[in-house]
Amino acid sequence: GSSQSHSRGMVGGWHPQAVRAVFLAGAFLFLGEFRRLRRRALRSARCTLVVKLGGSAVTDKTCFETVRVAALRETACALSRSPLLAGTVLVHGAGSFGHFHAREHGVSRGTAHSAFSWRGFALTRSSVTRLNGIVLTALLEQGIAACGLPPFPRWVLCGGALTDTDAPLGEVRSLLSRGVVPVLHGDAVFDEARGAAILSGDTLVEELCAALRPTRAVFLTGIRAC
C-alpha cells in the first residue's frame, strides 16, 4: 500500500521535488542565456554616425529661448534623407536654452558658488529639456523615429570628468538596436565632487565616439536655412 501511494506521487518515475528542481535549473539556465544574448546584441548595436547639432545652429544664442525654426526644420529634413540614419545618435547643444539660467545661477561652478541654487539647477534643466522636446518634434515630423535621452540623472561627473557610463551607454545601445535614434543634449547633472555641474554636448560626443566607434562624427554649427 505504501509503495503504491509513493509511486502515485511520482511523475514519470521522478519525485515531484526532483522535477521542480530540474525545472528551476532549466529556467535559470534559460534566463542566463537570454541575458547573455541580449548583452551581446546590445554590444553589437551598430552606431554609424554621431551628429553634434550646435546650439548656435538651431537657436539664437543672443535671445532667450529662441529657436531658429527654419534651420532646425532643414536639419531634420537632411537627417531624414541620410543613408546612415538607422545607426545615428544625435547630440544637441543648449544654445539660448539653459545657458542663461546656468550662468545666472553658477551651475557650472558647483554648489559652493555663491550664486548657486538648486532652483537654478532645476530651471536650467527645464530649459534644456524644453529645447530637446522641440528638436524631437522636428525630427518626428520628418518621419524619424527619435527618442530623447536626457543625461540627468544617469550621467554623473566627478570634478568635471565622467564617472561610470555603462548604464547610460547601455540605454543608447538599446535604442540603436531597435532602429531608434537616441537624442541627447547638454545638461545640468550631479557632480560627486562639486555637487552640480554642466555636462556639455561636446563631452557627450567624445564619450559616445570612444564607446560606440561610429563610422563618422559630424558637427553642425551656424546652419543657414535655404
Average pLDDT, the chain: 87
Q: What is the DSSP letter of 45?
A: P
Region 185-197 average pLDDT? 97
Q: What is the pLDDT of residue 226?
A: 41
Contact 185, 102 (CB under 8 A): no
Flag whether the pTM goes above 0.85. no
Strand, helix or coil for residue 107: helix
pLDDT tens readout for residues 17-37: 765 666 676 666 666 654 554
Q: What percent of the chain has pLDDT over 90?
A: 76
Q: What is the DSSP string of 181-194?
A: EEEEE-EEEEETTT
Whole-angstrom distance, CA of residue 60 vs CA of residue 91: 18
CA 193 to chain centre: 23
Report pLDDT for 34. Answer: 44
Cα gap 173→42, rounded to integer Å: 6
pLDDT, tens digit (0-9, with 9 covering 90-100), for 107-148: 999 999 999 999 999 999 999 999 999 999 999 999 999 999
Query: Which three three-digit cell numbers place residue 95?
Result: 544654445
